[in-house]
Structures are given as C-alpha cells and as structure tokens.
Structure 1
Amino acid sequence: MFEAGAVLGVLEALRKAGCAVWVAGGWGIDALVGRVTREHGDLDLLHRAEQEPAVIAALESLGYAERTEGVVPGRPARFVMTGPGGRELDLHPLHFRPDGSALQRLDDEGGAFTYPAEVFVTGEIEGVRVPCLSVAQQVSFHQGYPPRERDLLDMARLRAAYGIDTHF
C-alpha cells in the first residue's frame, strides 16, 4: 500500500532536491478530487527527464531502488523503483518544449506521447497542494481499453466532482 503520508514524503523529498514532478494515475485522481478515495498500490510520477539523476538520488535517499525485472514497458517510457514496505513508484520521464508541452518517449524508434502544456495543474492530497495532471488528461488516459472496476470508480469520482462526461 502507498499511503498519503508516504506520497507527501516522496513529493517533499523531490521538492527539496529541486525536482519538478506531477502526480498521475490513481493518486492523481485523488489529488484532483481533493481526498483519498481508495487504497493505492503504487504512485505514478512524471518528471523532467533532465532532472532524472537528481530524482533517482532523492528517491534512493528514501530507500528506493530501481527494479528492472518484470517492468514492461520499460525505459525510455518509464521505470519502476521499489522502496520501504514494498512501495512502488512508476516514473515517467518527460522532455519539455519551450511552449510548456512535453514529450514522453515510448521507444527508441521515435514513438512519443505528447502532453499539452495545459494538462499540468495542481490538486490536493491531505490538504497539501500538489502538482498533478488535469481532469481532461486523466479521462483521456482511461480511454481505449476495457476498464477495470477501479477505473470505473475513478471516473465516477471525477464525474461527481467536476460534472463531466467520463464514459468509456
């Protein structure tokens, strides 16, 4: 389990190290809703690719280590670090453009996912303002695959909080 206190501890360590990160995934949805809505098995973080050495060093100081076994897809799209209590961080390096948009490299053949500048917003976890991805980006990420029960519940929470259409 990844509890709110552990999330805030990771974010604070990264902030102190001068690293810009954005919360995504289930914790990102909870940040947008402004409250913890369910248990989380991991924490998804997007970070500036050029800050990756500092990100890794800050996380290693908290007891995290990169795990390469069973991580699909792996680098360059993402990598996983495992820490105290078996907590997992799913880290996504982003290459920012001058206009504030970002690219996430998906493979070594030039495949990439683009994040428009406006998807980088803030939310709240346990009363603390945190950088996260926008409602529109979260909804977009939940398209194109058969939703799991938790996906349906996450989209229902966004629908209730923002009055938007989140149907699959």
Structure 2
Amino acid sequence: MREPDRDDLSGRQLRAIAEVLDLAERERIEVWLRGGWAMDFFLGSQTREHVDVDWFCWAADADRLSDALADLGFRATGGAPPEQQRDLVRGDVELGIALLDRDGTGWVVVAGGPYAGEPWPDGMLDAAPGRLAGLSCPIIAAAAQIEIKRMMPVWVPTMPRRDKDRADILRLGRALPPAGALGTLPRIPCYIDDRHYIDGRRRNSGGWR
C-alpha cells in the first residue's frame, strides 16, 4: 500500500489512514471511514481540509484496535464515553472511532453511551471501498453520509448544522446517480419535522418505521 508523501496535516492524516488500514488487516478488525474523509474517498479527491479522521468499528474490537493504535504512538484523549467512541491523538492527527453493535433484529446501532441502541442508516456498511491518494479504504455509503449530515442536528440538538456539512451534502448529492439509474439505491429520507420524512418513515427509539 503506497502512503501519501505530503508533509502537511492532510498528508499526515492520510498516512494515519494507511496505518489504520494496515493494522486492521493484520489484526482482522473491520473498520469503515466516516465523516469528511469518507466523502473524499467516495469522490476520489480531497475537497477540503479536515480537523480529524473519523472511523467506525465494532465495539467488540474496540480494545484491540485501541491497543494496536497505542503501539503506533496514539494516546487516548477521553471525551465521549468509551463504550460509545474512542478518541485518540498523535501529534496533530486526531482519530475518532465510533463503536457499532447490532440489535436483536440485526440492525446496526450505536454501541453505548447515552444513544446506545439508536439505529444507524440502512445499508450504511454496504458501500464499495473508496479510493484516494493511492489508498483503497472501506467507507460508509454515500447515502448514509448524506443522511447523517442532514439529521445529526435533529438527533443531537446540541450539534447545529455547520456550513461545511451543507457543502458536503451538496457535493455528495451531485455525485450520486439519479434514482433508478443503477437499479435499487438506498433511500435518503429528507427531513420534514422531528418525526416525519419524505419517504414516510419515522425514526424513534425502536428504529425506522
């Protein structure tokens, strides 16, 4: 795997992504890139600077992944409850690893913390790998990226929608093919109010309805 050779924050973040991919393969840990870097890997080019590198992994693998990252010089910084997310830093490179679990029906949900059991979007982990700077990386589906960016201020009212999120939604939306162009595509619920969506489903503690 070729590591990027840029000597700036983005280059260091990309090298950290390469390191995470290498150790995940070695330790047989499933990881998925999320957030701004997931968008860029989906689009195939860097669209903006990123504060950190966000990941998903299964809660059952969190300790092994954290220990392996500690061997690479990352240290835990605290923040979110550890059963919900692991936050680590090495120099100016920050990693946020959100933890996943499955509920009794097999739906992918938040693993722990105050939102434990809350469902993530359908099909979120089913995307093809993204590619950027000579790297191939598992990413969350573009439709799920849009849904998360649209709905996070509703799910977590203390997190207002940022200008960069609005721009990301537009970029991702333009890159997705028209509905039906590739057969069955994930539906992207559009927010109407705190319970209703254009496709008629409602989200509550029991999942999508």
TM-score (norm 1): 0.82
Q: Within the alignment, does 1:149 sit opposite 2:163 as a pair?
A: yes
Matched, 1:5 2:11: no
Contact 1:2 1:43 (C-alpha < 8 Å) held by counterparts = no
Q: Which consecutive aligned stretches of 4+ in structure 1 deviate over 4 angstroms post-superposition? A: 97-100, 163-168
Higher relative contact order (CA 8 A, sep 6+): 1
Mapped pair 1:119 → 2:124: yes
Q: Matched residues in 1 for 2:167 and 2:30: separation?
A: 29
2:106, 2:40 → 1: CA distance?
Answer: 24
Percent identity, aligned pairs only, is 24
- Write out per-residue CA displacement over residues 44-93 of structure 1, whole angstroms, 9 at most, x where no aligned residue: 1111111122201211111001112xx2x43322120111x221111111
Q: Which amino acid aligns with 1:113?
A: E
Tell me the residue number matched to 1:162: 176
* 1:93-119 superposed Cα distances (whole Å, 9 cap, x missing partner): 1114697642213426x7422235621
Name the SS for the 1:115 alignment partner. Answer: coil
CA distance in 2: counterparts of 1:49 and 1:166, whole angstroms: 27
For structure 1, the 5+ residue unaligned runs are none
Distance 2:150 2:66 in 1: 31
Determine helix, strand or coil for the equivalent of 1:38. Answer: coil
Could you tell me which residue of structure 1 aligns to residue 36 of structure 2? Answer: 26
User: What does residue range 121-136 of structure 1 map to in structure 2 within 5 Å?
Assistant: 121=127, 122-136=129-143
Partner of 2:204: none
| SS of the residue 2:18 aligns to | helix
Gaps of at least 5 residues in structure 2 are 1-8, 154-159, 179-187, 192-209
User: Whose Rg is larger?
Assistant: 2
Aligned position for 2:111: 105
* Counterpart Cα distance in 1 of 2:189 and 2:121: 19
Q: Under a length normalisation based on structure 2, what TM-score does the superposition of the two structures give?
A: 0.67
Distance 1:166 1:98 in 2: 24
Say if 2:59 and 2:111, in contact at 8 Å, map to a contact too. Answer: no
Partner of 2:95 in structure 1? 89
In the TM superposition, 1:4-83 aligns within 5 A as 4-68=14-78, 71=79, 73-83=80-90
More strand by share: 1
Please provide the CA RMSD for this pair.
2.7
